[in-house]
A and B are shown apart, each in its own frame.
Chain A
Amino acid sequence: MDLSFSAEEEAFRAEVRRFLRDRLPARIAEKVRTGKRLTKADHEEWHAILNARGWLAANWPRALGGTGWTVAQSYIFEVEAALAHAPRIVPFGVSMLGPVLIKYGSEAQKAHWLPRILSGADWWCQGYSEPGAGSDLASLKCTAIRVNDANGDHYIVNGQKTWTTLGQYADMIFCLVRTSTEGKRQEGISFLLIDMRSPGVSVRPIILLDGEHEVNEIFFTDVRVPAGNLVGEENRGWDCAKYLLSHERTNIAGVGASMAALARLKQIANAQRKGGKPLAQDPHFAARLAKVEIDLENMKTTNLRVLAGGEESPVPLELGAMLKIRGTEIRQEITSLTRRALGPYAQPFISEALDEGGSHLAVGPAYAAPVATDYFNNRKLSIYGGSNEVQREIITKALLEL
């Protein structure tokens, strides 16, 4: 066993740091560091910078415009980018749709859509969940009926998707739709790419408890979708969804993001004073801080163990579930401790203080502004991407074999 990175890997880390120092716009890093809202343009700017360097699609093969990185390299990049306060890469096109197209898409689909993901020509969103189909995704009802008429071969889509993250920015949505009601529920689902500007698509914002417009409901009324937008075979869309679950494992534990959040928490705990001393030296607080730090240290290794195992073969579902559960619990504990660290100053909330240049509007210490809403917003981590309860079901199902 050897936990150290190789000399080449360390050289790669140095290269990543150099790149981040030279190319990550200070304006954007400052927004991330201080918990400001990122605009669509901010995300696009960062994606374009990464793409220009060839570093946008960590998990795609080189031939298709990806990095071809090893898991160790992907991990190093994730951590360094997070610690440098880079925005996270918006996952929908690059990390979710891309791998599915690469595995199941036709040559024509790959040639058309993959370069557009990289160039940012299309902003993608994910249309899986429905009001009645959350954890029980296979119960989804949004229908697509194949019609071949004078207007060509296409699907007519009717139904609703919900919780669609950043759907308000999207040009395209990849959806799981029902194409058959016969047999097993999973066997009547197809993977379909839908243009958000098609007649019959409408988007309604959902405001989350922090007051932000992050997710949406999307309604489809007789929306015509070219049959060429079907990915893989009809009624085999569930395979695409499952494939993503077992292959998209880098980043699921969010180690980089938690490391950055922990560093920030420590800064705040050192700046806050309790009984004349830094809060970080308060025995109760220090104990909580140490516990989450230990958990994160352990998670770094658990994460790398799982990733290293996945280099040759798909990662067993239960291991991915473990990363998801504990990774999100760690992140939530850090946001909770950061909230506690502020003491009474967790209460004021001035929305405009989260806009670029709004720091002077904050009440109390400038770092306090985003903390309470960040805590509330991150309750989502244990709900989406397969809730932590569902992940525990996955673990016990795999282990018990009952």
Chain B
Amino acid sequence: MHFQHSDDRRMLSETLGRYLGQRYPIEARHQIAESQRGWSPEQWAALSELGVVGALFDERVGGFGGAGFDIAIIFEQLGRALVVEPLLGTLMAGRALALAGGSDDVLARVIAGNCILALAHEEPQSRYDLWDVQCRAVPEGAGWRLRGSKALVCQIEAADHILVSARITGEAGDAAGIGLFLVAAGTPGASVRSYPLVDGGRGGDFTLEDVKATLITENGASLIEEAAAAGIVALSWEAVGIMDVLKRDTLEYLRTRKQFGAPIGKFQALQHRMATAALEIEQARSAGINAAAALDSARAERERSVSAAKFTIGRVGTLVAEEAIQLHGGIGMTWELPLSHYAKRLIMIGHQLGDEDHHLERFIALGEAA
């Protein structure tokens, strides 16, 4: 047993960290996050050049990673720099495509940096429930047509191809009968309403009115679950990266801010709060390690670890974000201080792919089933 990343992963992590430190400073990040696009094609090109996209996929589809810890090291760095580029959607949709097989051409272009993906799965009513799919797929001749609404698709406008879940048979709530379909951006009948997000970057609602689509699989449930699991590993490590920054900055502030003639870090009331936050961050890191390690395991183990991680990240993330602001006092409330943006992103990670309550219930249900 050991807890070191392989040399390759360490090297990629350091390279990416160095790149983001130099080319994605907070000012550049804000500019990109608030831009019309909400992401940067130049950054995307540079990141894929560094191998960041390739590391998210395994060798069978032309990548050189794709394991839980590959995802972990990358998203940890993305979190540290508060990156808003469309990597989460590309990871989740790409993972489902890779598992389904038959989309090697698309994935080759993704890995080369020439194609961005989005996963359009959640719906306005679905609230974290993976099987609440009401969007419909109807066969037409040799192909398929999709009709329905998808909500809150991360960076959907950046995507060249959108992987859409749609019901072929059954009722909302059934895992069976959900198909996965690929829709090229701009296909007639597909419309996007995009909007800014409170933590930077953009998302969008996707409306499909008899949109022509390519069938990927008629049995999408297990792929959706695996894509979501990879997404949760990614978000968990993004959160760990963010929490490490919040911890570093708050410690620094406790050392330097003086009130009552002493650094505020001398006040025991704050020392204990900081100690608790630090302890919880280590627990969250362990949860992230557990989930990354279980990503390629059998379903029961994988899903329990993933739900455990997302529950932990949700709970600890809220604590750490709120404490980081509180221990800074007024200055922690300001737009000018990067810390407030890290706190906002951390809180919003709790609203993606299931919150604490959702994953707590899921963890219980998975345990009962085992």
Q: B129 touches which one: A275, A282, A339, A363 (CB < 8 A)?
A: A275
Is the pair A383, B333 in contact by a Cβ cutoff of 8 Å? Answer: yes
Is the Cβ of B344 less than 8 Å from the Cβ of A134? no
Q: Report the minimum CB–CB distance from B174 to chain A (whole Å).
A: 13
| Partner of B334 from A139, A208, A336, A346 at Cβ < 8 Å | A208
How does the 8 Å CB contact mask read for A203-220 relative to B, with 1 for contact and 0 for none?
Answer: 000111101000100000
Contacts A134-B329, A272-B127, A282-B357; A345 near B334 (Cβ below 8 A): no
Q: Which of A206, A209, A215 has the most CB of B within 10 A?
A: A209
- Asked whether A134 lies within 8 Å of B259 as measured between CB atoms, the reply is yes
| Secondary structure call for the B interface | mixed
Among residues 274 to 297 in chain A, which have CB atoms less than 8 Å away from a CB atom of chain B?
A: 274-276, 282, 284-285
Contact string, A384-402, partner B, CB cutoff 8 A, digits 1/0? 1001110011000000000
Is the C-beta of B232 less than 8 angstroms from some C-beta in chain A? no
Bound complex: CA A203 to CA B336 (Å):
17
Q: Given the known inter-chain contacts A135-B259, A135-B329, A340-B355, please indicate yes or no for A207 contacting B335, CB distance below 8 A.
A: yes
The residues in B between 310 and 334 inclusive whose CB is less than 8 angstroms from any CB of A are: 318, 322, 325-326, 329-330, 332-334
Q: In residues 342-368 of chain A, which contact B (Cβ within 8 Å)?
A: 342-350, 363-364
Mask, A321-349, CB within 8 Å of B = 1, is 00000000000000010011011111111
Return A110 CB to nearest CB of chain B, in Å: 32
Q: Are B260 and A135 in contact (CB under 8 A)?
A: yes
Task: Indicate whether B341 reaches chain A with its CB closer than 8 angstroms.
Answer: yes
CA distance A119 to B73 in the complex (A): 62
- Evaluate contact between A343 and B330: CB separation under 8 angstroms: no
Identify the stretch in A70-78, A250-258, A303-311, A374-382 within 8 Å (CB) of chain B at 4 or more residues: A374-382
Are B325 and A136 closer than 8 Å at their CB atoms? Answer: no
- The complex places the Cα of A77 from the Cα of B326 at a distance, in Å, of 32
Q: Are A344 and B352 in contact (CB under 8 A)?
A: yes
In this assembly, does A163 line the interface, its C-beta being within 8 Å of a C-beta of chain B?
A: yes
Q: Which of B54-62, B196-204, B210-218, B247-255 contacts A (4 or more CB under 8 A)?
A: B196-204
From A139, A209, A211, A344, contact of B152 by CB (8 A): A344
Which residues 173-195 of B sit at the A interface, judged by CB distance below 8 A? 173, 193, 195
Closest to B193 in A: A363
Query: Given A207-B336, A209-B344, A284-B357 in contact, is the A344-B259 Cβ separation under 8 Å?
Result: no
Residues of B within 8 A of A388 (CB): 326
Query: Is A347's CB under 8 angstroms from B326's CB?
Result: no
Number of interface residues of A (CB under 8 A): 50
- B125 on interface, CB distance cutoff 8 Å: yes
- B329 lies within 8 A of A209 (CB): no
In the complex where A343-B355, A345-B152, A382-B326 touch, is A350 in contact with B196 (Cβ < 8 A)? yes
Instruction: Tell me whether B357 and A209 are in contact (CB under 8 A).
Output: no
Q: In the complex, A376→B261 CA distance in Å? A: 30
Q: What B residues does A139 contact at CB under 8 A?
A: 259-260
Establish whether residues A379 and B326, one from each chain, have CB atoms under 8 Å apart when the complex forms: yes
Inter-chain contacts of A117 with B (CB < 8 A): none
Which residues in B have their C-beta under 8 angstroms from that of A207? 334-336
Question: With A and B bound together, what is the CA distance between A333 and B234 in angstroms?
Answer: 28
Contact of A350 among B195, B259, B318, B344 (CB under 8 A): B195
Would you call A364 and B151 a contact (CB within 8 A)?
yes
Interface residues in B335-356 by Cβ distance below 8 A to A read 335-336, 340-341, 343-344, 347-348, 350-352, 355
> Within the complex, which residue of A132, A346, A389 is in contact with B348, where a contact is CB–CB below 8 Å?
A346
* A59 at interface by CB-CB < 8 Å: no
Query: Closest approach, in angstroms, between the C-beta of B32 and any C-beta of chain A?
Result: 16
Give the residues from 46 to 93 in chain A that come closer than 8 angstroms, CB to CB, to chain B.
none
B199 close to A209 (CB less than 8 A): no
Closest Cβ–Cβ distance, residue A212 to chain B (whole Å): 9
- A68–B205 Cα distance when bound, in Å, is 55
A372 vs B343: C-alpha distance when bound (angstroms): 12
Contacts of B203 on A, CB cut-off 8 Å?
347-348
- A393's nearest neighbour on chain B, judged by CB, is B269
- Could you tell me if A209 and B341 are in contact, using CB atoms closer than 8 angstroms? yes
**A347→B330 contact, CB < 8 A:** no
A129 sits at the interface (CB 8 A): yes
B residues within 8 A CB of A273?
125, 127
- Across the interface, B127 reaches (CB within 8 A) one of A135, A344, A363, A379, namely A344
Residues on B with beta carbons closer than 8 Å to the beta carbon of A336 = 318
> Who on chain B is nearest to A276 by CB?
B173
Instruction: Give the docked Cα–Cα distance between A348 and B128 (Å).
Output: 16
Tell whether, in the assembled complex, residue B361 and residue A347 are in contact, meaning their CB atoms are under 8 Å apart: no
Contact present for B325 and A348 (CB under 8 Å): no
How many Å lie between the Cα of A383 and that of B361 in the bound state?
A: 34
Residue of B nearest to A346 (CB): B351
Known contacts A207-B334, A364-B151: does B197 contact A343 (CB below 8 Å)? no
- A373, CB-defined interface residue at 8 Å: yes
CB pair A136 B330 closer than 8 Å: no
B76 on the A face (CB < 8 A): no
Tell me if B270 counts as interface (CB < 8 A to partner A).
yes
CB of B85 within 8 Å of the partner chain: no
Question: Would A346 and B360 be within 8 Å (CB), given that A207-B336, A209-B344, A363-B205 are in contact?
Answer: no
Closest B-chain residue to A376, C-beta based?
Answer: B344
Question: Is B170's CB within 8 Å of the partner chain A?
Answer: no
Nearest A residue (CB) for B124 = A364
Mark B247-285 against chain A: 1 for CB-CB distance below 8 A, else 0: 000000000001111000001011000000000000000
What are 18 A-B pairs at a CB distance below 8 A?
A: A134-B330, A135-B259, A209-B340, A215-B330, A340-B357, A344-B151, A348-B152, A348-B203, A349-B195, A363-B195, A372-B198, A372-B348, A376-B340, A376-B343, A376-B347, A379-B326, A383-B332, A389-B267
Instruction: Given A207-B334, A208-B334, A209-B325, output 20 extra A-B contacts at Cβ < 8 Å.
Output: A132-B258, A136-B259, A139-B259, A163-B330, A206-B336, A208-B335, A209-B334, A209-B343, A209-B344, A274-B129, A339-B347, A340-B357, A342-B351, A347-B152, A349-B195, A349-B197, A350-B196, A379-B322, A379-B333, A387-B326
Q: Which residues from chain B sit less than 8 Å from chain A, CB to CB?
A: 122, 124-125, 127-129, 151-152, 173, 193, 195-199, 203, 205, 258-261, 267, 269-270, 318, 322, 325-326, 329-330, 332-336, 340-341, 343-344, 347-348, 350-352, 355, 357, 360-361
Lowest 6 CB-CB distances: which A-B pairs, in order? A209-B340, A349-B198, A136-B259, A207-B335, A284-B357, A343-B127
